[in-house]
A and B are shown apart, each in its own frame.
Chain A
Amino acid sequence: AQSVTQPDIHITVSEGASLELRCNYSYGATPYLFWYVQSPGQGLQLLLKYFSGDTLVQGIKGFEAEFKRSQSSFNLRKPSVHWSDAAEYFCAVVTNYGGSQGNLIFGKGTKLSVKP
């Protein structure tokens, strides 16, 4: 069965420092991968997605992620964190977008705190 693991429950970084959030997935075929961000009281917002092609994908708000098939990973990165990036981040894989299904399987999330 498909699954997503986010090993870090909570990360604290200083404003201006670089950030990497880890995500590992378990999926038999080529996965469709997503990163979402959730701020308190807000819905989930898509940061970026990977379906195929270039394994380094760019997203909104200066985020990028790299798909590494050999490591079953899709880590999220940002070179310089801003205080407004404090939120919870979720990695997700979709079950089967080609067919009639396509629900997302999410990791448990990583809460990001930013120190001034």
Chain B
Amino acid sequence: DTGVSQDPRHKITKRGQNVTFRCDPISEHNRLYWYRQTLGQGPEFLTYFQNEAQLEKSRLLSDRFSAERPKGSFSTLEIQRTEQGDSAMYLCASSFQNEQFFGPGTRLTVL
């Protein structure tokens, strides 16, 4: 068990471009979460999957954001038409019961 992995670790993009992040949870964890963390703040919840079903989305998840977990394993988070305000650390976590295990995050910088 290698823990939760995220790819890429860093992404620099220009405003208006689309970006996609990947999260590989701990195997057999049925729950997967995406959070966003900006400088000086704690992580903020974006969305949550149980197996392949997306069960909850935060109001932070605008129409430009979409997340998938097609086979109940890995998940992707896509941001379309990126804006400078999207610059943040995007964290993924997975859980089986009552503890969430976090990945190292993807740091997005939008120029």
Contacts and interface: CB of A to CB of B under 8 A. Distances in A.
A70 to B, nearest CB: 25
Interface stretch (A12-20, A78-86, A96-104): A96-104
Nearest to B53: A100
Interface residues of A, number: 25
A106 B58 CA distance: 14
Contacts of A94: 98
Given A97-B98, A102-B48, A43 B43 contact: no
Given A104-B43, A104-B45, A109-B41, A43 B4 contact: yes
B25 interface: no
A44 B102 contact: yes
A51 B98 contact: yes
B44 A43 contact: no
Given A43-B4, A44-B102, A103 B42 contact: no
A45 B105 CA distance: 12
A46 B99 contact: yes
Interface in A35-81: 36, 41-46, 49, 51
A102 B31 contact: yes
Nearest to A36: B102
Contacts of B45: 103-105
A7 B42 CA distance: 13
Nearest to B9: A41
20 contacts: A32-B98, A36-B102, A41-B104, A43-B4, A43-B91, A43-B103, A46-B99, A49-B98, A97-B98, A100-B50, A100-B56, A102-B31, A103-B48, A104-B43, A105-B45, A106-B42, A106-B43, A108-B42, A109-B40, A109-B41
Given A43-B4, A43-B91, 7 more contacts: A4-B42, A43-B103, A46-B101, A101-B56, A102-B31, A106-B42, A107-B42
